Amino acid sequence: MITEEPNIDVGILQERRHIEGELSGEFYIAGETPLTGGFTAKAAKGGIFLYDASGHLILKKASIKMKPSGEAFFTLYDVAVGIDFHWERSEKLTFRGDLTLSLDKNGLMTAINTIALEDYLSCVISSEMSAEAPSEFLKAHAIMSRSWLMSTLERRGDIDGKRAKDKNSIQSENEIVRWYDREDHTAFDVCADDHCQRYQGIKPLSGFTREACEETRGLFLVYDNGICDARYHKCCGGLTDLFENAWENQAVPYLTSVSDSLLNHQTIFNERDAQNWILSSPEAYCNTRDEAIINRILPGFDRETMDFFRWRVHYERDELENILWKKLGFDFGRIQNIIPLERGPSGRIVRLKIEGTKKAMVIGKELEIRRCLSPSHLYSSCFIVITKRDLLEKPISFTIHGAGWGHGVGLCQIGAAVMAERGFKAEEILWHYFRGAQLKRLY
């Protein structure tokens, strides 16, 4: 395990021909006079051409590293935020730390920000969380995000890989079981977008989130002498699920199924359990309709997304056939049955069979199921399907009744925030979701 605070390389811009920005304060470039003010970089044959604000060529190199002096910081224009999501837009963002511009294999530029892990973390927490969230929740989140990040970086360095990275699917003619993990970046550790963790630089930093990071500085969740791969999701639906039901077939001892309640809810074993569970509204930390709490944890969500503990989606038969055609590229013919073959303890479906008049197919795991049964994504794979049939037993429509939001593994964000609101401490929240894990200060 690490013994001092590491630096991390964050990819801010990728595949750019042209990068524009501004240096506030002096930045040192090896062998050059310090640079300040506006700059433009262009990728061209043979390297990166760096120009100052008045358009004078300063230097030409394959890689340009700029180091800030004192409190200097830099701003990059035209940074894409929310890539591939409906909120995608371009912003001007400001960062502390080093800025490196380098060429990728296609001759395009990458802008990388090298920053101390704790500084990065406080930016990430304040990009993802509202500063008004309960402070014990913010502290728990800081410890968890720090642990997840470090364990991801450590695993990447491990060439033999405790978990094989390339084996992320099992496919045959009639079965697609795949899972999605953070793709490895090669030129840097993490990207700045939701793909890894949203990092929007220093602008949104607020006092509270900074405090949560400072108070927990160097604290990690550990298990058996290793930093925990601390996963989290928005709402478990009352029970959390196992690591291997969302990703590789490998048990992770601290990512087990927990009842997200003071009551000990029984895990789901069969279809009858699933039906009773999903169609009821059990007592759970994340079973809250308190808009004030939800808005404080998930800022910016609209009211339509309030129903995530229990939710419902309805499709006419042809509508669902069209979605499956678009998402999977198969013509199932007339959809006959949708049959869960395997569920995890939270009720999330791990393998689902879709039977049509022309084709039958098994799909998994949870994210693939969510992706295939919705124009965007279903909230979770914890659902039952109620099929309406005509007098000849032919399906007319399908109603999906579901529970929870996200993969359900590790910490439930809504549940954790409600726990904090009810007076639980950060460590109690973490021990509730990550059973058997301990806290350890590593620097």
Residues in the site for Zn ion, rule: CB under 5 A? 191, 195-196, 236, 260, 286, 412, 415
Taking the C-alpha atoms of residue 255 and residue 241, their distance in angstroms, rounded to an integer, is 8
Cβ at position 152, least distance to Zn ion in Å: 10
Q: Choose between 143 and 419: whose C-beta lies nearer to Zn ion.
A: 419
Q: Choose between 193 and 320: whose C-beta lies nearer to Zn ion.
A: 193
Q: Choose between 344 and 415: whose C-beta lies nearer to Zn ion.
A: 415
Cβ at position 15, least distance to Zn ion in Å: 13
Cβ at position 411, least distance to Zn ion in Å: 9
**C-beta atoms surrounding 54 within 10 Å:** 7
8-state DSSP, 255: S
Taking the C-alpha atoms of residue 347 and residue 324, their distance in angstroms, rounded to an integer, is 23
Q: Do the Cβ atoms of 235 and 408 come closer than 8 Å?
A: no
The SS3 call for residue 41 is strand
Place of tokens 């080093």: 98
- Backbone torsion region of residue 70, taken as left when φ is above 0, otherwise alpha when ψ lies between -120 and 50, otherwise beta: left
Q: Choose between 9 and 23: whose C-beta lies nearer to Zn ion.
A: 9
Q: Choose between 268 and 412: whose C-beta lies nearer to Zn ion.
A: 412
**C-beta atoms surrounding 424 within 10 Å:** 20
Cis peptide before 358 (omega within 30 of 0): no
- The enclosing H or E element of 145 equals helix 135-157
Cβ at position 423, least distance to Zn ion in Å: 17
DSSP letter for each residue of 13-57: EEEESEEEEEEEEEEE-TTS--EEEEEEEEEETTEEEEEETT--E
Q: Choose between 147 and 346: whose C-beta lies nearer to Zn ion.
A: 346
Sheet with 395-403: strands ordered across: 310-316, 395-403, 383-389
Residue 157 token pair: 């360095």
Pairing of strands 232-233, 411-412: parallel
Cβ at position 236, least distance to Zn ion in Å: 3
Cβ at position 150, least distance to Zn ion in Å: 16
Taking the C-alpha atoms of residue 40 and residue 27, their distance in angstroms, rounded to an integer, is 14
Q: Choose between 12 and 212: whose C-beta lies nearer to Zn ion.
A: 12
HSE, side-chain direction, 13 A CA sphere, residue 300 = 6
Cβ at position 51, least distance to Zn ion in Å: 29
Q: Choose between 35 and 235: whose C-beta lies nearer to Zn ion.
A: 235
Q: Do the Cβ atoms of 333 and 327 come closer than 8 Å?
A: no
Cβ at position 103, least distance to Zn ion in Å: 20
